[in-house]
Chains A and B, each alone.
Chain A
Amino acid sequence: MTTVAPVNEPPVRARKGLFNRPEKPYIHPYLGGALLGLVMFLAFLITRNGLGASGGLNRYVAALEDLIVPGHVNQTPYLLKLAGGNLNPLDDWSVPVVTGALLGGFVAGFLNGRLKVQINKGPNISNRTRLIMAFVGGVIFAYGARMARGCTSGQALSGGATLSAGSWALMMCIFAGAYALAYFLRKFWN
């Protein structure tokens, strides 16, 4: 199958896959979409919730904050809803979903020989630049995700499938934001 983008350079820090499993190609994107849709449908059918990532991450962070500075949580309205008083921030559907996703990604990576310590990046930037950008991008994305009450999973995918008006508007904005900046960052990725 030909799903991999034309590669301009070899992976910089590629090592052999753990347990020396042969690396297999990715599945066809339409098949991936259908399978992901099936998972999401089953989630809605059985549990009434869809998928999510930033919500679960948020709860892990809140739990950590509660652990380090317990008093602080009770003075911050945003955290109060997650971890105020006797609330356990980890007692929520989004937490096992995120945890399961980490495990699922790991198992899929193992089965397909893709468990490799490496840095994916454009050919014209250093590892250091790539990692700085990854960190900054993570901060920006997650800030926007909490403002929008969900990220690509909780809003774009889950809200998209349930035809939420706000989720569709927001999804267009994600693409708009990324495309608007893509030209200026072309050196970083190409």
Chain B
Amino acid sequence: MLPALFPLKAFLQPLAQNPWTYLVFGLIGFGFGFVLEISGFGNSKKLAAQFYFKDLTVLKVMFGAIITAMVLIFLSSAIGILDFNLVYVPETHLWPGLLGGVIMGVGFIVGGFCPGTALVSASTFKVDGIVFSLGAAVGVWAFGETVQPIWNWWNNSGYYGRLTLMDVFHLPTGVVVLLVVLMALFMFWGGEKLEARFGKRDLSKEPKRRYLGGVALILVALIVIALGQPTIAQKWSQVEAEKMPLLEQRAVQIHPGELLASLGNDTLDVIMLDVRSESDFNLFHIHGAVNLPLQNILSVVPTLLTQAQTTSSSVVVLMSNDESAATEAWKVLAAEAVPNIYILEGGINNWIKVFGKQEAGIRPLAAGVSDDQLRYTFESALGDRYPAADPLPYEWVLEYTPKIKLQNQRGVSGGGCG
């Protein structure tokens, strides 16, 4: 496994901290605009011809770009140089996406452009491109002004967060990559047939090298299947040197007092994951904690990755009876690149020690309890209905060293929506 060098660390932080990052995005944009122009995307007639089967340049460039980028992204992930969990995957807002998509299609055939191509067209002085761009500016303004009545629908309907085709079809990444490549090649083949029929194009003049390109794409997809995506153990080995010291120096084990204060802090979104067994959880747990036994910890990763790419105020606090299971869970989440993860210091036992002194129904056990087991007996399984499970932040003045430091993360969703 090669070291996970990408994405570069500087791009996880706000851009203003490293002003050169703006330049990198500028260069990417330059390449984007340049390639669109030389592909003919500045010409609305060429774009509209797609929808009359005369010239399928739009289909070829779009899907050519998608599959080229896709095989390279997942090859980089397979050999370990790119952490795919840090790559921004647009969240799935199914219904607004579908309706918005249809509206975009209508705008496409009426106006002859999409926003990117219109800007490129405008930059080469095409008047229709300039006018479309002005219309687009009015369109984004109009949406911002009229979204209020549909705010709930727009944010919540069909919301699945960071959802990939691998999650939907329960297929390995490489298999999905191969299927998408095959689908695209099939569409190219069909597209050429349509062009020959409706656009009177002479296919014999098409370069033979395009078959080589198709074979190369299939080969890379097969390599991605053969390599597979990195396992948790491999991902942990990549970050161990960086993360292990945090555990050893106890930089991520937070005092119960700090957890309580954070729960009362409106600017933080604290997610408490209780990784003990269900029976221990039922006996006693902190109010608001979610039970997720250690062996199931992976199931929460997509949700946490969604949180990580949509908000920068999420803090995950892991807890077990002592610290062993919580530490294991911490390592898994660290390997999966979940940011802002902490462990409740001393676990639930320590929490009860601090907040449960006057609890009549909870009594300490005599010595001889093994590690990460409950050190208390409970009169009944009240869960979070013990007063100690939900202490009032202002009633407790505790001394501790605050350790939670939100990673100052860059907003990656771009449009600033969602």
Binding site for B on A (CB under 8 A): 2-6, 13, 26-30, 32-62, 65, 76-79, 81-82, 89, 91-109, 112, 114-122, 130-131, 133-182, 185-186, 189-190
Is A143 within 8 A of B90, CB to CB? no
CB distance from A164 to the nearest CB of B (A): 5
Q: How far is the CA of A185 from the CA of B82 in the complex (A)?
A: 45
Tell me the bound Cα distance from A167 to B108 in angstroms. Answer: 17
* Contact A49/B200 with A134-B111, A140-B139, A149-B93 known, Cβ cut-off 8 Å: no
Q: Which of B31, B40, B96, B160 contacts A26 (CB 8 A)?
A: B40
Instruction: Give which listed residue, B22, B48, B151, contacts A77 with CB less than 8 A.
Output: B151
Q: Does B51 contact A (CB under 8 A)?
A: yes
User: B164 — which chain A residues lie within 8 A by C-beta?
Assistant: 162-165
Q: Is the CB of A34 within 8 A of B64?
A: yes
Note all chain A residues with C-beta closer than 8 A to B132.
134-135, 137-138, 141
B166 contact set on A, CB distance < 8 A: 163
The minimal Cβ–Cβ distance linking A9 to chain B, given in whole angstroms, is: 10
Is the CB–CB distance between B90 and A34 below 8 Å? no
Is there a chain A Cβ closer than 8 Å to B242's Cβ?
A: no
Question: What CA separation (Å) do A144 and B137 show in the bound complex?
Answer: 12
B293 contacts which chain A residues (CB < 8 A)?
Answer: none
Inter-chain contact A178/B96, CB cutoff 8 Å = no
- List residues of chain B with CB within 8 A of the CB of A104: 29-37, 120, 123
Give 11 pairs: A residue, B residue, CB < 8 Å, sorted on A: A5-B45, A29-B61, A33-B62, A36-B35, A40-B68, A47-B11, A78-B144, A148-B103, A149-B97, A152-B116, A176-B102
Q: Is the CB of A176 within 8 A of B105?
A: yes
Q: In the complex, which residues of chain B have a beta carbon less than 8 angstroms from the beta carbon of A13?
A: 127
Q: How far apart are the CA atoms of A189 and B108 in the complex, in Å?
A: 12
Shortest C-beta distance, A8 to chain B (Å), equals: 9
Q: In the bound complex, what is the Cα–Cα distance between A9 and B57 (angstroms)?
A: 20
Complex CA–CA separation, A3 to B195 (angstroms):
11
Residues of A contacting B62 in the complex (Cβ-Cβ under 8 angstroms) = 33, 152, 156-157, 160
* Stretch binding the partner chain, chosen from B70-78, B259-267, B382-390: B70-78
* B136 located at the interface, meaning its Cβ lies under 8 Å from any Cβ of chain A in the complex: yes
CA distance A181 to B104 in the complex (A): 12
Closest to A180 in B: B105
Asked whether B29 lies within 8 Å of A98 as measured between CB atoms, the reply is yes
B402 at the interface (CB under 8 A from A): no
Q: Which listed residue (A40, A50, A93) contacts B15, Cβ 8 A?
A: A93
Decide: B106 and A140 in contact? CB cutoff 8 A: yes
Is B38 an interface position by the 8 A CB rule?
yes
Q: How far is A47 from B18 in the complex, measured between Cα atoms in Å? A: 12
The answer, yes or no, to whether B54 is at the interface (CB within 8 Å) is yes
Q: Give Cα A91–Cα B145 distance, bound, in whole angstroms.
A: 22
Chain B residues near A47 (CB-CB < 8 A): 7-8, 11, 21, 24-25, 28
Which residue of chain B has the shortest Cβ distance to A8 in the bound complex?
B45
Q: Determine if A177 and B101 form an interchain contact, defined as CB atoms under 8 angstroms apart.
A: yes
Find out whether the CB atom of B135 lies under 8 angstroms from the CB atom of A93.
Answer: no
Kindly state whether residue B241 has any CB partner on chain A within 8 Å: no
Knowing that A40-B65, A143-B143 touch, tell me 17 more A-B residue pairs with CB under 8 angstroms. Answer: A32-B38, A38-B72, A45-B7, A46-B24, A54-B140, A94-B414, A94-B415, A96-B22, A98-B29, A100-B30, A108-B124, A121-B128, A137-B109, A144-B100, A147-B103, A163-B180, A169-B97
Interface SS of B by simple majority: helix
Minimum C-beta distance from A19 to chain B (A): 13
**In the complex, B364 has a CB within 8 A of chain A:** no
Q: How far is it, in angstroms, between the C-alpha of A115 and the C-alpha of B234 when the chains are bound?
A: 52
Q: How far is the CB of B34 from chain A (nearest CB, A)?
A: 4
Alpha-carbon gap, A49 to B115, bound state (A): 18
Instruction: Give per-residue flags for B251-294: 1 if the beta carbon is below 8 A from chain A beta carbons, else 0.
Output: 00000000000000000000000000000000000000000000
* A181 → chain B closest CB, angstroms: 5
- Whether the Cβ atoms of B33 and A101 lie closer than 8 Å is yes
Decide if A98 touches B65 in the complex (CB within 8 Å): no
Contact of B45 among A56, A76, A133, A189 (CB under 8 A): A189
- Tell me which of B201-209, B324-332, B347-355 binds A: B201-209
Which residues from 39 to 69 on chain B have a C-beta closer than 8 Å to any C-beta of chain A?
39-40, 42-46, 48-52, 54-57, 60-69
Contact status A59-B416, CB under 8 Å: yes
Q: Which of B8, B34, B46 has the most CB of A within 10 A?
A: B34
B7 in contact with A61 (CB, 8 Å)? no
Judging by beta carbons under 8 Å apart, are A33 and B61 in contact? Answer: yes
The docked-state distance in angstroms from the alpha carbon of A179 to that of B120 is 23
> Nearest CB to that of A110 among chain B residues?
B124
B101 to A101, Cβ gap below 8 A? Answer: no
B60 contacts A101, C-beta separation under 8 Å = no
A82 to B65, CA, bound (A): 29
Query: Could you say which residues of chain A place their CB within 8 Å of the CB of B30?
Result: 100-101, 103-104, 107
Q: Would A108 and B105 count as touching, CB distance under 8 A?
A: no
Asked if A169 contacts B414 (CB within 8 A), the reply is no
| CB closest chain-A residue, reference B70 | A161
> Which B residues are in CB contact (< 8 Å) with A133?
110-112
* A residues less than 8 Å from B135 (CB atoms): 134-139, 141-142
Chain B residues within an 8 Å CB radius of A137: 107-113, 132, 135
Q: What CA separation (Å) do A92 and B416 show in the bound complex?
A: 9
> A30's contact among B55, B98, B213, by CB below 8 Å, is which?
B213
Cβ–Cβ < 8 Å partners of A153 in chain B: 32, 114-116
Residues of A within 8 A of B102 (CB): 144, 173-174, 176-177
User: Shortest beta-carbon distance, B368 to chain A, in Å?
Assistant: 50
- What distance in Å separates the Cβ of B270 from its nearest Cβ neighbour in chain A? 22
* A138:B136 contact, CB within 8 angstroms: yes
In the complex the two chains form, is B6's CB within 8 Å of A46's CB?
Answer: yes
